[in-house]
Structure 1
Amino acid sequence: MKQIRIVLWLALIAAFAAFIAMNAETARVNFWPYGAGYLHFDWPVGFVALVFFLAGFVPPWAAGRLRRWRLKRRIATLESSLVTQAGTYPPTDAASDAAQPDIHS
């Protein structure tokens, strides 16, 4: 599965690099009304695409990583509490009978 993911990422990077190479012209990007006009930048089209791709990709990716980290931490906490609780209970009757040898035979 990891190899497939690597191949897909490499294909995405190659396609994006080809897109940037084919679209090297600059484009005016208007961001926000600023005084009498707009706050604008003249950037290459590929850079604009990269910026907006990352603006849409990074927040959900970061939220997913944070959710995974919280769940792993919660699982570790629950597992450690189970280990500490398992040591505090006395053995059951079935376990204590199995531990003692049968002397009546």
Structure 2
Amino acid sequence: MQFLKILFWCLLAFVAAVFTFGNWTTVSIQLFGGLVAEVNLPLLLLTTFLLGLVPTFVYQRWVRFRLRQRLLSAERALETERALAAAPPVTTAPAPPVIAPEVA
């Protein structure tokens, strides 16, 4: 199975390299204030891909972190409840009777 993963990533890298060499053209981008940026097409595509991927990835990691924290909190509460339920009941000795002083 590891071999197939390596083969897949190598094939993907090869396709990306062929795409990069085949599309190595300059693209003009109109910016604010009349500025024009000349950017290579593969760099532009990589930048737009990362602009979409990174926020989604960060959000997904944050959700996983919060769910993991909630799960750990619930597990700790469950362990506490189990420990309290398994502990033998505490019995206390009866208090000695209080003797009222005699009034003469």
Letter in 2 for 1:33: F
5+ residue gaps, structure 1: 93-105
TM-score (norm 2): 0.66
Of the structure 1 ranges 43-52 and 82-91, higher mean CA displacement relative to structure 2 is found in: 82-91
Note if 1:76 corresponds to 2:75. Answer: no
Q: Determine the structure 1 residue equivalent to 2:91.
A: none
Q: Determine the structure 2 residue equivalent to 1:16.
A: 16
Q: Report percent identity of matched pairs.
A: 27
5+ residue gaps, structure 2: 89-104
RMSD between aligned residues: 2.7
Describe the SS at the equivalent of 2:24.
coil
Q: Structure 1 pair 2/81, CA: closer, same or farther in 2 (3 Å)?
A: farther
Note if 1:59 corresponds to 2:55. Answer: yes
- Residue 9 of structure 1, CA deviation: 4.5
TM-score (norm 1): 0.65
Separation of aligned partners in 2, 1:69 and 1:4? 30
Q: Which one has a bigger Cα radius of gyration? A: 2
Aligned length: 88
Instruction: Summarize the alignment of residues 1-105 of structure 1 with structure 2, pairs less than 5 Å apart.
Output: 8-30=8-30, 32-34=31-33, 37=34, 39-90=35-86
